[in-house]
Amino acid sequence: MTNGFDYDVEVCTIYNINNETIERVDIFYPGMTFAVAAMGNIEYNNIISIIIKNTDGLILAEYSLEYLTQLRKTYKNKNKRESWIFTEKGLFLKTINIERRFNFDSEKILEYYRSDEAVNERGN
């Protein structure tokens, strides 16, 4: 997961692992990436909800399992390497095509996901 906001955010991620619900809360600074799959037996497909708040506790966005499932279908991601990026424009599934388009330049990639272009391309 990558913070595409221009400020720190608190991310509450809720996982379902073997019918056990686990909640994890992390503070992400701008541009910070956290590798979900690096947490042992937890994988992206275990995520059932994501809640993003500013550091004052105001909820900026909430994403349900249904939304995450639909987003995966939108991107038709067959790639095992799944990575989410959340911005003020919404939640996106980071794709290798976008990384290649911007020559793996993380600043340009963040700019793209903060743009209306990313929103429009996600809708197609």
pLDDT in tens, 80-111: 566 889 999 999 888 888 889 999 998 999 99
Domain extent, residue 59, equals 2-122
Residue with tokens 């996106």: 92
Distance, C-alpha 34 to centroid of its chain? 10
In whole angstroms, give the CA distance from residue 84 to residue 63: 12
Report the domain count for the chain: 1
Distances (CA, A) of 49 to 46, 62, 101, 104, 121: 9, 7, 30, 28, 23
| In the predicted structure, residue 77 carries a pLDDT above the cut 60 | no
pLDDT in tens, 9-41: 999 999 888 899 989 899 999 999 887 655 555
Output the furthest CA–CA distance in the chain (Å, rounded): 40
pLDDT in tens, 38-75: 555 566 778 899 999 999 999 999 999 999 888 878 77
Q: How long, in residues, is the chain? A: 124
